[in-house]
Amino acid sequence: MKITVVYDNEVLKRGLTAGWGFSCLIDNDILFDTGGDGVALLDNMEKLGIDPSDIRSVVLSHGHGDHTGGLSDLIEENQDLSVYALTSFSKWLKNQIPAKTKLVEARKPMQIRKDVFTTGELGTCIKEQSLICLNKRGVFVITGCAHSGMHRIVIAASKFGEIYGVIGGFHGFSDFDILKRVKLISPCHCTSYKRELARAFPKQYVRCGVGLVIE
Ligand SMILES: [Zn+2]
Ligand SMILES: [Zn+2]
């Protein structure tokens, strides 16, 4: 399994574009979130050798523009997609996407591929879903903004097995203890305490940005 960050507040390689938001690709067929800007998203993909027409599923963590802004430009390139969105956002999306694009309301946990699942809607105030990728090493969790709280995400992800890695926006997460058994920690996008996380987990910490590839 290969995870490629295609949109983030930071870049790791020259020539790629940073922007407030997040998006990453699982292998070449599942896109998690779409960043804030479609032009930058597609440009980053092109520079990373990713063909948007290979994408089969788009999972949106939540309805905020910094995670959904690139969707319409992506759909212009590839309509043959299934888009998984939480209830409130899928209601809004219904009138925005072409008939050929399948919209799936993802309130409950769902299976996207044989080894990729969603946590379903988590949280109370701003609801959000995370992505669960299963591989030989364990559970790899991908978060959008983690508005629902890392605690809830870790509980939901642990049902799939031992958590090996976590990547994505960690928001205001500061209860570092709950990640102490995780082997790979790559906070990005909206994470408030990136520096503190790097200090608390020197061995596990992986610097995130557009162009990061985790295999
Ligand atoms: Zn958000
Ligand atoms: Zn965000």
pLDDT tens sequence across 80-95: 999 999 998 999 999 8
> Closest Cα to residue 79, out of 112, 52, 116, 48?
52
- CATH number of domain containing 58: 3.60.15.10
How far away, in angstroms, is 170 Cα from ligand 1 center? 11
Q: Identify the band that residue 34 occupies on the pLDDT scale cut at 50, 70 and 90.
A: very high
pLDDT at 77: 95
How far away, in angstroms, is 146 Cα from ligand 1 center? 8
3-state DSSP helix/strand/coil % of the chain, to nearest 5: 25, 25, 50
C-beta neighbour count of 108 within 10 angstroms = 10
How far away, in angstroms, is 189 Cα from ligand 2 center? 7
- Does the CA dihedral 115-156-9-181 come out positive or negative? negative
pLDDT tens sequence across 126-176: 999 999 999 989 999 999 999 989 999 999 999 999 999 999 999 988 888
Q: Identify the band that residue 125 occupies on the pLDDT scale cut at 50, 70 and 90.
A: confident
Pairing of strands 57-59, 213-214: unpaired
Pick the ligand that lies closest to the CA of residue 125: 1
How far away, in angstroms, is 102 Cα from ligand 1 center? 23
Percent over 70 (pLDDT), the chain: 100
Pick the ligand that lies closest to the CA of residue 147: 1
C-alpha span between 92 and 112 (Å, rounded): 22
State yes or no: pLDDT of 124 exceeds 90.
no
Pick the ligand that lies closest to the CA of residue 8: 2
> Closest Cα to residue 65, out of 7, 26, 16, 111?
7
What does the CA dihedral 111, 147, 198, 175 come to, rounded to 10 degrees?
-100
pLDDT tens sequence across 181-204: 999 999 999 998 999 999 999 999
C-alpha span between 178 and 121 (Å, rounded): 21
pTM for the model: 0.94
Domain that holds residue 106: 3-214
What is the domain count for the chain? 1
pLDDT at 172: 87
- Does the CA dihedral 143-148-154-158 come out positive or negative? negative
C-alpha span between 6 and 13 (Å, rounded): 11
